[in-house]
C-alpha cells in the first residue's frame, strides 16, 4: 500500500488543495452559492444598528436582513465611520447603506428606497427634580440648560438653536458621554432620538423613570431610508428591496421586529 509518507507528490497535492480551501474560506462571506453578496455599510448607531459579540444587531439590521432574505440576496454588513461609508457608496465599492437620511445632494450618487426604513422621533428628556414646564413650544425652555452632541437633531431643534430660542447648551463630543452627564444631573434637558435615549438610559440607569421623564409632545418625527449606490448600478436591487419591505409591512413582520426591539428597550416602570 502506498502511504502519504512515501508519496511526496501526494503531499504536495494536498498542500495545494489546502491552500485553495483556505482561499475559498477567506471569500466565503462574499459569496453564497454562485451569488455574490452585496456589500452593505452602516455606522454604529445603537439601538438601530451596532455590533454585539462581533455580529450586526439592532432593529434596522433585522429589517434589512429580513428584506434581503426574502429576495434570496446574500449581504455582508460592515460598520464604518459614516464619511467612509458615504465615500464607498459614491465610488461603488459598497452597494447599500443604512440608515440614510434624505438630502438632495446625495441623489447624485445614491438611489433612495421609496419607502422609509424606519421613522425616528426626537424627544426631550428632563430631570424630574428640575420641574420643567413644557407644552410643545421650545420658547418655553430657554431658562433650562440642554446637553447636546455636535450633530443635527433635525430641522426643528437645529433651527431653535440657530435662532437662539435655546441658549444654554453644554456640548460634548460623544452620545454616551452626554447621557452619563445627564443621569448625574449635570444639566436639565437632553434631546435625543427616542429609541437611542431608551437604549442609553436603560444601560446607564435601569430605573431611570424614577428620576427622568420624557416630555410631550415630541419635537419631530422624520424618516430614515436605505441608500443604493448608483456607481454600483443598484437601481434594480433598490426596486426589489422596496417590494420586499412592502411585503413585510403588509404581513406584519415589520411591526413584529419593531415591537420586539421596543420590548427589549422598554424602561423599568
pTM of the model: 0.82
Cell 451596532 found at: 50
* Ranges of each domain in the chain: 30-118+223-265, 120-222
Pairing of strands 31-32, 146-149: unpaired
- What does CATH list as the number for 120-222? 3.40.190.10
- The low-confidence residues of the chain, meaning pLDDT below 70, are 1-34, 267-269
Domain pair 30-118+223-265 / 120-222, same fold: yes
Directed axis angle between helix 253-265 and helix 59-70, to 10°?
A: 160
Instruction: For residue range 83-112, list pLDDT tens digits in order.
Output: 999 999 999 999 999 999 999 999 999 999
Long-range contacts, 102-109 (Cβ 8 Å, 24+): 102/223, 102/225, 106/227, 108/230, 109/229, 109/230, 109/231
Residue with cell 424606519: 118
Evaluate whether 97 touches 237 at the Cβ level (below 8 Å). Answer: no
pLDDT tens digits for range 27-76: 444 544 557 899 999 999 999 999 999 999 999 999 999 999 999 999 99
Q: How far apart are CA 129 and CA 37, in angstroms?
A: 52
CATH number for the segment(s) 30-118+223-265: 3.40.190.10
CB 117, CB 227: distance < 8 Å = no
Amino acid at each position: 500500500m502506498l502511504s502519504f509518507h512515501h508519496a511526496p507528490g501526494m503531499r504536495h497535492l494536498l498542500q495545494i488543495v489546502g491552500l485553495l480551501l483556505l482561499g475559498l474560506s477567506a471569500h466565503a462571506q462574499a459569496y453564497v452559492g454562485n451569488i455574490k453578496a452585496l456589500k452593505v455599510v452602516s455606522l454604529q448607531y445603537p439601538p438601530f444598528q451596532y455590533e454585539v459579540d462581533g455580529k450586526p444587531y439592532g432593529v434596522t439590521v433585522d429589517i434589512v436582513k429580513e428584506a434581503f432574505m426574502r429576495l434570496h440576496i446574500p449581504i455582508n454588513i460592515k460598520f464604518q465611520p459614516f464619511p467612509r461609508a458615504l465615500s464607498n457608496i459614491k465610488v461603488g465599492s459598497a452597494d447599500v447603506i443604512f440608515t440614510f437620511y434624505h438630502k438632495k445632494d446625495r441623489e447624485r450618487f445614491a438611489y433612495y428606497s421609496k419607502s422609509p426604513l424606519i421613522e425616528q422621533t426626537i424627544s426631550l428628556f428632563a430631570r424630574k427634580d428640575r420641574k420643567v414646564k413644557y407644552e410643545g413650544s421650545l420658547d418655553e425652555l430657554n431658562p433650562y440648560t440642554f446637553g447636546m452632541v455636535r450633530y443635527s437633531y433635525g430641522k426643528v431643534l437645529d433651527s431653535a438653536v440657530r435662532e437662539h430660542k435655546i441658549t444654554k447648551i453644554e456640548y460634548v463630543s460623544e452620545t454616551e458621554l452626554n447621557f452619563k452627564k445627564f443621569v448625574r444631573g449635570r444639566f436639565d434637558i437632553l434631546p435625543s432620538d427616542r429609541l437611542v435615549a431608551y437604549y442609553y438610559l436603560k444601560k446607564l440607569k435601569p430605573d431611570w423613570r424614577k428620576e427622568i421623564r420624557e416630555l410631550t409632545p415630541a419635537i419631530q418625527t422624520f424618516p430614515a431610508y436605505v441608500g443604493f449606490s448608483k456607481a454600483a448600478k443598484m437601481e434594480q436591487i433598490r426596486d426589489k428591496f422596496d417590494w420586499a419591505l412592502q411585503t413585510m409591512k403588509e404581513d406584519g413582520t415589520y411591526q413584529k421586529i419593531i415591537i420586539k426591539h421596543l420590548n427589549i428597550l422598554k424602561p423599568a416602570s
